[in-house]
């Protein structure tokens, strides 16, 4: 999941908190489940409005618990020198977006382990509050919500400790293998393989539950299993790519004979000049001696042909900012002059 996806709703201790569109689906499903099923079953003496308010409180506090779980990961990661782009709440819970992998197995173990510890602590506190409220005669609307939150946080902690990446338990498994073998790549392969098998197991178990009549919970397990299996496979592929590209510079794989077009060139000159004579589908665009953007040839189709002569390349290009562009190393490029019909060699 992209760390910039979703709506930013808050910032806590410098961590951007975002809500993915899929989160709203889960929010209303939990709200409906608690208001129409869970709380009416345990407090039949209360009215429908009370059940709705209980469901609303339980839903918000459930997601607050998930947020605290992810904040714990983020705070510990930052204390260990690992950058955090933010936290996203989505249909399968929450995710803290780190800028890099842990530096050593001890960091991995502490960062991964703190989440379940916080969930266990929250579960214990909520269950103690429920017991205290029941003993002191509090309203059932209060202690039943606390009891639900206690059990759900304990379940969250136990589930996250399952040994399959990207769950916390999978990261703990990777930390142990990494520490024992000293081989991060081997540890990652083992943890992601375990994650794929765990996802497959949840899919099979969920399908069996659905066939036996527990359709909603069964389908939910199938969805979670599918997500885990996909996330583990993506992590494994990403790690393999990182290993293959380790030590490789952009200059090692770039095309040095790059045809650059001028930002002031008209689209007509580009179409009947550079685009006809080059097999490339995208051209770097230069203005005042520096690369300022790129222009896919397909962009020509979005501009009426009769306007090509009066439309400069710079008007329809995709601009680059300074953070996404790199200074060129000394090299010679072929570039097209504004007329589009004469090539000149220039070094930049």
Residue bearing the bigger pLDDT, 328 or 260: 260
- CATH number, position 292: 3.10.580.10
Question: Would you say 221 and 202 are in contact if contact means Cβ atoms under 8 Å apart?
Answer: yes
User: For residue 1, is it within any domain?
Assistant: no
The band of 259, judged by pLDDT with boundaries at 50, 70 and 90, is confident
* Token duo for residue 197: 């098998």
> In sequence order, what DSSP letters do the residues of 50-62 get, joined into one string?
HHHHHHHHHHHHH
- Answer yes or no: do 228 and 317 share one domain: no
Closest C-alpha among 110, 118, 34 to residue 79 = 110
Question: Would you say 133 and 143 are in contact if contact means Cβ atoms under 8 Å apart?
Answer: yes
- Answer yes or no: do 140 and 283 share one domain: no
Q: Count structural domains, the chain.
A: 2
pLDDT above 70: residue 192? yes
* Dihedral over alpha carbons 22, 28, 32, 35 (to 10 degrees): 130
- Answer yes or no: do 168 and 299 share one domain: no
Dihedral pair phi/psi, residue 314, rounded to 5°: -60, -20
Catalytic residue among 70, 101, 144, 287: 70
Report pLDDT digits (tens) over 111-162: 999 999 999 999 999 999 999 999 998 999 999 999 999 999 999 999 999 9
User: For residue 22, is it within any domain?
Assistant: yes
Q: Look up the pTM and report it.
A: 0.70
- Answer yes or no: do 157 and 274 share one domain: no
User: For residue 250, is it within any domain?
Assistant: no
Which element (helix H / strand E) includes 259?
Answer: strand 259-262
pLDDT above 80: residue 230? yes
- Answer yes or no: do 299 and 183 share one domain: no
pLDDT above 50: residue 14? yes
- Answer yes or no: do 43 and 181 share one domain: yes
Domain end point (choices 222, 245, 268): 245
User: For residue 313, is it within any domain?
Assistant: yes
**Full domain range(s) for residue 322:** 256-347
Question: 321-326: long-range contacts (C-beta < 8 A, 24 or more apart)?
Answer: 325/291, 326/250
Question: Would you say 261 and 287 are in contact if contact means Cβ atoms under 8 Å apart?
Answer: no
pLDDT above 70: residue 164? yes
54, exposed or middle or buried, with CB in 10 Å at 0-12, 13-18, 19+? Answer: buried
Closest C-alpha among 32, 27, 43, 24 to residue 145 = 43
- Answer yes or no: do 174 and 307 share one domain: no
Domain end point (choices 204, 223, 245): 245
The question of whether 306 is a catalytic residue gets the answer: no
- Answer yes or no: do 238 and 298 share one domain: no
The band of 292, judged by pLDDT with boundaries at 50, 70 and 90, is confident
- Answer yes or no: do 86 and 169 share one domain: yes
- Answer yes or no: do 223 and 166 share one domain: yes
Q: Which residues pair with 318 in a beta bridge?
A: 294
Average pLDDT for residues 39-63, to the nearest whole number? 93
Question: Would you say 66 and 89 are in contact if contact means Cβ atoms under 8 Å apart?
Answer: yes
Report pLDDT digits (tens) over 60-119: 999 999 999 999 999 999 999 998 888 999 888 888 888 888 899 999 999 999 999 999
Query: For 186, how many CA atoms within 13 A lie in the half-sphere containing its CB?
Result: 8
What mean pLDDT value characterizes the chain?
84
The band of 298, judged by pLDDT with boundaries at 50, 70 and 90, is confident
Who's near 15: CB < 8 A, 6+ residues apart?
Answer: 71, 74, 84, 86, 87, 96
Question: Would you say 266 and 312 are in contact if contact means Cβ atoms under 8 Å apart?
Answer: yes
User: For residue 38, is it within any domain?
Assistant: yes
- Answer yes or no: do 27 and 48 share one domain: yes
User: For residue 142, is it within any domain?
Assistant: yes
Q: Which of 43-47, 116-120, 220-224, 274-278 has the highest mean pLDDT?
A: 116-120
Domain end point (choices 245, 271, 306): 245
User: For residue 119, is it within any domain?
Assistant: yes
Residues 207 and 255: their CA atoms lie apart, in Å, by 50
- Answer yes or no: do 165 and 309 share one domain: no
User: For residue 39, is it within any domain?
Assistant: yes
């Amino acid at each position: 999941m992209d760390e910039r996806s979703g709506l930013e709703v808050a910032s806590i201790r410098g961590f951007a908190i975002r809500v993915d569109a899929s989160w709203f689906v889960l929010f209303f499903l939990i709200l409906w489940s608690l208001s129409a099923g869970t709380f009416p079953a345990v407090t039949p003496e209360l009215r429908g409005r009370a059940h709705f308010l209980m469901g609303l409180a339980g839903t918000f506090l459930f997601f607050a618990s998930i947020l605290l779980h992810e904040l714990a990961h983020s705070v510990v990661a930052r204390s260990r020198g690992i950058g955090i782009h933010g936290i996203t709440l989505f249909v399968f819970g929450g995710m803290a977006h780190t800028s890099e992998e842990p530096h050593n197995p001890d960091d991995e173990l502490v960062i991964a382990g703190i989440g379940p510890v916080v969930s266990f602590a929250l579960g214990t506190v909520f269950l103690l509050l429920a017991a205290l409220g029941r003993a002191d005669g509090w309203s059932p609307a209060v202690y039943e919500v606390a009891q639900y939150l206690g059990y759900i946080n304990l379940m969250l902690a136990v589930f996250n400790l399952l040994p399959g990446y990207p769950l916390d338990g999978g990261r703990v498994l990777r930390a142990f293998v990494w520490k024992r073998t000293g081989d991060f790549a081997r540890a990652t392969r083992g943890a992601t393989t375990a994650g794929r098998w765990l996802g497959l197991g949840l899919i099979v178990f969920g399908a069996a539950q659905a066939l036996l009549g527990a359709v909603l919970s069964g389908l939910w397990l199938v969805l979670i299993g599918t997500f885990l299996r996909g996330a583990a496979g993506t992590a494994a592929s990403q790690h393999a790519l990182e290993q293959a590209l380790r030590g490789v510079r952009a200059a090692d794989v770039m095309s040095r004979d790059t045809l650059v077009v001028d930002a002031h060139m008209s689209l007509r000159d580009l179409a009947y000049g550079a685009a006809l004579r080059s097999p490339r589908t995208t051209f770097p665009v230069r203005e005042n001696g520096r690369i300022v953007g790129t222009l896919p040839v397909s962009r020509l189709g979005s501009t009426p042909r009769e306007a090509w002569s009066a439309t400069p390349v710079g008007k329809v290009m995709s601009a680059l900012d300074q953070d996404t562009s790199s200074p060129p190393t000394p090299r010679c490029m072929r570039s097209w002059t504004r007329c589009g019909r004469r090539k000149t060699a220039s070094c930049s």
